[in-house]
Amino acid sequence: MFIEQAYKGDNTPWKVALTTLLTTGIFIVNFMYVFFFLSATEVDQMYDMLKTTPKNVMLVANLFPFALLLGLLFLMVRALHERSLLSLTTSRKKIDFGRIFFSFTFIVLLTIGTFWISYEIDPSDLVWNFDPFKFSVLLVLSVLLFPAQIAFEEYLFRGFLMQQIGVATASRAVPFVITSILFGLFHSANPEVGEMGPGVMVFYIGTGFLLGIMTLMDEGLELALGFHLGNNLMAALLVTSDFSALQTDAVFRYTAQKDSGDMLSEMIVSIVITYPLILLILGKKYKWKGWREKLFGKVSKVEPKTISHDEYSHLS
């Protein structure tokens, strides 16, 4: 089982606390600075200043630190906790790259398909923004940097923290809920929150729950890694807007004035309708069973045997 993989390493509380603090400290400081030390006017001025910075410079500045933090997290898991990176990734004997590829392709095709339908229905708020050279640079930077960004978030929240909270509480529900909420709070300093209001946090937290369900039901990070990467790449490459977290040279630009009510409604539709459909499709494909136990059951205190892909399919 995925959470029990943590028993293969050293879970001394001070080591867990140190790893958590060193890998999340920069975001905690940023959160406190934005929400406790800056006024609303100063926050708006900061976001306006960021919009004047060259797009690709901001992209690198925002994403490159994740590569460093991912390396730090891996180093501490290996050296301090004496664990393999495989045990942080999956309960299978090896990482299932087929799962990563499937979930990546699935969300990319779904995003493009739904975008095309909405564009055919009403293209008035979208303008063609494609510049071959600028887009090529964006594509290269995105392919190089987004994998590190999403990997850090997945390995931190659905990997390290979910496993450590799980073994500490002997529960699956507690880490499932806590990491999903923390994942949302992790994005609370994004410009979208300032532009559209705190209601957008519902979407971030809901996405955290979606990725948490994928991880617990599938006993590994593979599906969450592929899905998260595909989602973020599409957000950067397909459509940009003045209130996006990252301004990019995407194919299209959304030009309509933001309406926080309409956007929040669209996000709620995604959470209530689209997300369950995604889980239904993945559950049927990978034959998920035992939903209640896997999401809300107890965590065994016995070190698990890593099972093979064939054994896992049989047990499922």
pLDDT at 34: 63
H/E/C letters for each residue in 85-121? HHHHHECECCCCHHHHHHHHHHHHHHHHHHHHHHHHH
Burial of 174 (0-12, 13-18, 19+ CB in 10 A): middle
Cα dihedral sign for 14, 16, 19, 21?
negative
Q: What are phi and psi of 184, to 5 degrees?
A: -65, -45
Residue 306 has pLDDT above 60, yes or no: no
On whether the CB atoms of residues 237 and 129 are closer than 8 A, the answer is no
On whether the CB atoms of residues 189 and 30 are closer than 8 A, the answer is yes
Taking residues 295-314, report their average pLDDT: 65
Describe the strand order of the beta sheet including 252-254 as a list of residue ranges: 126-128, 252-254, 239-240
pLDDT interval class at 270 (50, 70, 90): confident
Rg of the chain on CA atoms, in Å? 20
| Cα 223 to Cα 97: distance, rounded to the nearest angstrom | 9
Taking residues 40-50, report their average pLDDT: 68
Taking residues 247-255, report their average pLDDT: 89
How many Cα atoms sit within 13 Å of 67 on the Cβ side?
13
Best CA proximity match to 179, nearest among 24, 288, 68, 302:
24
pLDDT in tens, 87-135: 999 999 999 999 999 999 999 999 999 999 989 998 888 999 999 999 9
| Cα 204 to Cα 185: distance, rounded to the nearest angstrom | 8
pLDDT in tens, 128-162: 999 999 999 999 999 999 999 999 999 999 999 99
pLDDT interval class at 44 (50, 70, 90): low
pLDDT at 74: 97
Residue 32 has pLDDT above 60, yes or no: yes
pLDDT interval class at 314 (50, 70, 90): very low
Best CA proximity match to 64, nearest among 152, 157, 4:
152
What is this structure's pTM? 0.89
Residue 25 has pLDDT above 90, yes or no: no
pLDDT interval class at 313 (50, 70, 90): very low
pLDDT interval class at 316 (50, 70, 90): very low
SS3 of residue 218 by DSSP = helix
Residue 311 has pLDDT above 70, yes or no: no
| Cα 301 to Cα 8: distance, rounded to the nearest angstrom | 11
SS3 of residue 246 by DSSP = coil
pLDDT at 107: 97
On whether the CB atoms of residues 89 and 95 are closer than 8 A, the answer is yes
On whether the CB atoms of residues 41 and 124 are closer than 8 A, the answer is no
Where do the structural domains in the chain lie, given as residue ranges? 3-315
Average pLDDT, the chain: 88
Encoded tokens for 89 = 């990734």
pLDDT in tens, 210-243: 999 999 999 999 999 999 999 999 999 999 887 6
Give Cα separations from 273 to 102, 201, 205, 228, 262 (angstroms).
21, 18, 16, 18, 16
pLDDT at 70: 97
Residue 170 has pLDDT above 90, yes or no: yes
